[in-house]
Structure 1
Amino acid sequence: MALVFPFPTPFGLGDMVWSVHQALIVDALAAVGVHLYCRKNEPEDYWKLSAVLLALPLVPASLLTHHIPSLLLCLFIAFAVFFAALFSSMMLYRISPLHPLAGYPGPLLWRVTKFSAAYYGAFGKYHIKLKQLHDRYGPIVRIGPNELSIVQVELIPQILGSQGMPKGPLWEGRRILPSKNFNINNHLIGVRDLQRHAQLRKPWNKAFGVGPLKDYEEMLRSRAGMMGSRLDEICGEGVGRVDLTEWTSFFAFDFMGDIAFTSDFSLLQNGDVNGFVRDMEEAQSLPTIVQHVPWLAKITRVTPFLGTKLRKFGGFALEQAKKRAGKPMLKKDLFYHLIQAVDPEFMSNPLPFIMANAVLTILAGSDTTSSSMAMIFFNLLREPRCYKKLQKEIDVSVAEAGGSIPSMEKLGQLPYLNAVINEAMRLQAPVPTSVQRAPKIGSGGKMLGSMFLPEGTNVQVPPYVLHRDPRYFYPNPDSFWPERWLSQESWASGDDGDASDRNGQEGAGGIIHERAAFIPFSTGPAACAGKPLALMELRYVTAMLLRKFNFAFQAGFNAEKWEAGLADRLTMFRGPLPVEITRRGSI
């Protein structure tokens, strides 16, 4: 006797006795139909899609009850066949010549699923894997069912430039704030509408203009002076031992508090006793995985044991936003300039605007710059020739400035200082991957040179891979060689040092230096708005530290192991960088 299925079947199907084969064919066709529909109409409401996927197999399950007495077995067979057919249809299409990206090379598993990228993201080695793929397959690699990675400099303007594309869905996977505190249309780094992005970007451009930078400069000198004083205390009359990764993070986080929230987090004074830096770093681990499968981010954000660290950091950001909104304006900080640029009337209730930009301000204002500072000193200490050469340039400039660190304008003109900063960011870009764009929704697609990019296809331009491409940086693209940033006239004449300074590099005739391929701050309308402040910070702190102290790796430090341990978590995460510091005398 057939069981009565608890759900009615549509279109009178339950009035007919279907064979097992017919029921399973209906099951499989329903799955293929779902795949074809979703391929044409990318679903945005994943909860509704989930409901449909769970409901459709109930129909063939009810048909099977005429032949199989166990309701549970009917459900198991129907769901197993449905999802097997669905996944088979998806995989076969993704590897078939019918797929619009079929002509682009890439590993089979990556063409089938983005979980391959998520796997490497989980271990922080996505940047390494992308470089390996490009080394094997060339400048354009298919790294997902609907995603390409491109390191072709002539295509960068069409991807990232003023005639480029809006951001892709990656940033939905990286979102930290919960939905109730998040409005994509007010979120500079995640908004995908180009016109809205341009509107949101205007106040940021003004907030990092010449006038506001003068306001931030005073805060920078004060906080850098505090860093120097604390390190001086640690040195005493002998040798101090510190973790430079930790101290650059302390400085950057404190300075971010100064310029953004008018708050003194006091990490330089007390250390990370409240876990601010730790929480920020831990909060980025999960987004590093789910950014590759953004639909999964919605599930993880509401899963208690998965989203705890994410919610904790998001709560911290919201708390700082509320505190800043409730404070009287004592100095012209970042949010003062941002709100003035948007609408001075916002000063009466600035909370919504500050909340929308709090997480971006904390991450971009502290983690990226601290990463670059650590990389600068790591590379200098590994290359003593470069260290001594830069220290000499700084000593001369300090003497010319009457014994003080030169002005920001003068620091911006020191050739070797800026060459060192550029070279450190070339080798270890603050954001090594995750620069993603996609054709505008509703556009149908976009031409990139002679190639057509269908709508629904994402493109990444990974700086880590681009910066190490020998077509653009040669010779020794994987080596630290600041001289590559000096003028070719200096190479030819030897003004940048004697032949030994070149460390075995080729002469000017054999050097390739493509500045258009250097994008540590990205490029185009969505490039890092805080680039002027970041460079000012890096120049001043580097000059101050090298003028006041001598640095050396602590005994037993393994530079190769440290570099191999770098992890791509949107920004480049660093392990402890143990150094010895001694106070320099008067020069």
Structure 2
Amino acid sequence: MPKVGDVALVALPVLVLVALILHLSYNIFVHPLRNAPGPKLWAASRLPWCWYQHRGVLQYKLLELHVKYGHAVRVAPNEMSFTSESAWKTIYGQRSVEMPKDPIFSLLTPTGVQNIMVADRETHTRQRRLLSHAFSEKALREQESLLQLHVSKFLEQLSNNSAAGPVDMVAWASFLTFDMVGDMAFGENFGCLDRGDYDPFVRAIQSMATELTYTQMWKYWRLQALRKYLMSKEVVGKRVENVKRAMAAVGRRLQRETSRKDFMHYILAANDEKGMSPQEIHVNAFSLNIAGSDYERLMAEITAAFGTETDITIASTHNLEFMDAVINESLRLYPPVAITMPRRTPLGGETIDGIYVPGGMTVGVHHFSCYRHPNNFYRPNDFLPERFLAANRDLAPFQKDNRACLQPFSFGPRGCLGKNLARAEMRLALAKLLFRFAVKLQPGQEEWQRSQRLQGFWQKPPLYCILLPKNTA
């Protein structure tokens, strides 16, 4: 006669298997989202989603699913992905009952203090009111000298290094970006352009993004307690280390009396009893740091607009129509945030793109799929900046393009505060770069984007370009 222990030993895996089958069957046949379009395997379990996320190619797989199933796709048992203009408005737009950020994705700061990226609605409104002063048109004009200083240094370094051969534009553009933002946010220059190398803070950002990506997956499987054993030592703890670096820099800036018109100047000048505590200022300063023929046409526009390099300013680049079209098309094909910024549906549920989604479900617009969907843009995988020119909007073949789908800085009351600053930086740096140099890709770099993995941020390999001096006036 078999012993009780032996029976239990045999029965346990059987019970586990039965429970698993029942769970998967529920997700496919009984779950409130059972009728939503999408593959049954993805509806049954989050395992496919996590598999492609782990490989860094989830963006391509989600695009494939959206092309097959339409603008609304069930991509996990409790998650719907969207790619339409109306979804932007419904999910992220101004609402009486806000769709809060998904708590699995919206991680708390290491200190527990809320920053603008993860804050609840009341805290977000209070912090945004104060931070908006640092990104006003007035602040942008007063900050131009800082931007010009770093762009000039960027060009000089390119002039010095391009004579020896092709230069890695990913590295030098990163040096420029972080030196500018670090100077404005902390009042301290990272010194990347001076050294021609990454600061430890900057170097750790990709590892930090990878850590956040894996932490999100562990939370889905309730394995976050094991995260330090499941990730490499090069990744674990990078976020906490970088926040500590940022907080130390903010502390030094708060102790200095200076007339510099950096972010902190505007934040401190507008701070009052309804403003932010010193702890909130610390965690928000960290967040501010983490945000062929066409080429010939752009070169011609820049050459015609400016007599000398010193003529190129934020104001003088504002009306370069084709440059804006190039920037918009670049943001469409290569959005800096290419993932979904997930929200949770409110208690009573919500109808999105004609599909009722019950309360407590995860929803969001997937940037990469939205911008590459053939129902949104003509020849969606081709670089066609002409689509964004006002004269072409109502003409074939671009008359059916849904330009309102392009929201690279997000949408609604939680949209990116720094989008005007970002566009000003792009216009200024690009205009000066192309005024001074003719830029050509090094042979072999044509598939540069296609080879990249995406984990939070794009994992960018070097992009080597040949820079030929044109005019150094």
- TM-score by length of structure 1 reads 0.74
> Residue 414 in 1 paired to residue 300 in 2?
no
Give the helix-richer structure, 1 or 2. 1
Give the length in aligned residue pairs: 467
Bigger radius of gyration, 1 or 2?
A: 1
After superposition, where does 1:151-166 map in structure 2 within 5 Å? Answer: 151-163=83-95, 165-166=99-100
Partners in 2 of 1:333 and 1:396 — Cα distance?
Answer: 33
- Look up the match of 1:194: 121
- Look up the match of 2:216: 291
Partners in 2 of 1:303 and 1:166 — Cα distance?
Answer: 31
Partners in 2 of 1:102 and 1:580 — Cα distance?
Answer: 53
* Cα shift at 1:304: 8.2
Partners in 2 of 1:423 and 1:485 — Cα distance?
Answer: 7
Partners in 2 of 1:273 and 1:487 — Cα distance?
Answer: 40
Any gaps of 5 or more consecutive residues in structure 2? none
> Residue 216 in 1 paired to residue 143 in 2?
yes
- Look up the match of 1:557: 444
Of the candidates 576, 579, 584, which is equivalent to residue 465 of structure 2?
A: 579
Q: Secondary structure at the match of 2:146?
A: helix
Answer yes or no: is the 8 Å Cα contact 1:436–1:460 preserved in 2.
Answer: yes
Q: Secondary structure at the match of 1:213?
A: helix
* Cα shift at 1:449: 5.6
- Look up the match of 2:188: 263
Partners in 2 of 1:418 and 1:239 — Cα distance?
Answer: 32
* Cα shift at 1:151: 1.4
Q: Secondary structure at the match of 1:473?
A: coil
Partners in 1 of 2:170 and 2:466 — Cα distance?
Answer: 13
After superposition, where does 1:126-525 map in structure 2 within 5 Å? Answer: 126-163=58-95, 165-172=99-106, 175=107, 177-178=109-110, 181-183=111-113, 186-191=114-119, 193-235=120-162, 238=163, 240-272=165-197, 274-292=199-217, 294-295=219-220, 296=222, 298-301=224-227, 303=229, 306=232, 309-327=235-253, 328-330=256-258, 331-343=260-272, 350=278, 352-364=279-291, 384-399=292-307, 403-440=309-346, 443-448=347-352, 450-474=354-378, 476-488=379-391, 508=396, 511-525=399-413
**Alpha-carbon distance change, 292 to 215 in structure 1, aligned in 2, over 3 angstroms:** farther
**Alpha-carbon distance change, 574 to 449 in structure 1, aligned in 2, over 3 angstroms:** closer
Answer yes or no: is the 8 Å Cα contact 1:553–1:579 preserved in 2.
Answer: yes
- Look up the match of 1:548: 436
Answer yes or no: is the 8 Å Cα contact 1:207–1:341 preserved in 2.
Answer: no
Any gaps of 5 or more consecutive residues in structure 1? 1-65, 365-383, 493-506
* Cα shift at 1:239: 5.5
Answer yes or no: is the 8 Å Cα contact 1:127–1:465 preserved in 2.
Answer: yes
AA aligned opposite 1:390: L
Answer yes or no: is the 8 Å Cα contact 1:317–1:359 preserved in 2.
Answer: yes
Deviations 1:10-34 (A, max 9, x none): xxxxxxxxxxxxxxxxxxxxxxxxx
Of the candidates 12, 20, 26, which is equivalent to residue 87 of structure 1?
A: 20
**Alpha-carbon distance change, 286 to 273 in structure 1, aligned in 2, over 3 angstroms:** closer
Q: Secondary structure at the match of 1:447?
A: strand
**Alpha-carbon distance change, 297 to 538 in structure 1, aligned in 2, over 3 angstroms:** farther
RMSD: 2.7
Deviations 1:329-387 (A, max 9, x none): 4223223323444437989x73x1233224422221xxxxxxxxxxxxxxxxxxx2111
Q: Secondary structure at the match of 2:423?
A: helix
Partners in 2 of 1:547 and 1:76 — Cα distance?
Answer: 75
Deviations 1:516-543 (A, max 9, x none): 1111111111111110111011111001
Partners in 1 of 2:388 and 2:287 — Cα distance?
Answer: 30
**Alpha-carbon distance change, 262 to 122 in structure 1, aligned in 2, over 3 angstroms:** same
**Alpha-carbon distance change, 68 to 111 in structure 1, aligned in 2, over 3 angstroms:** same
AA aligned opposite 1:388: E
AA aligned opposite 1:541: A
Identity of aligned residues (%): 28
For CA contacts below 8 A with separation 6 or more, give which structure has more relative contact order.
2
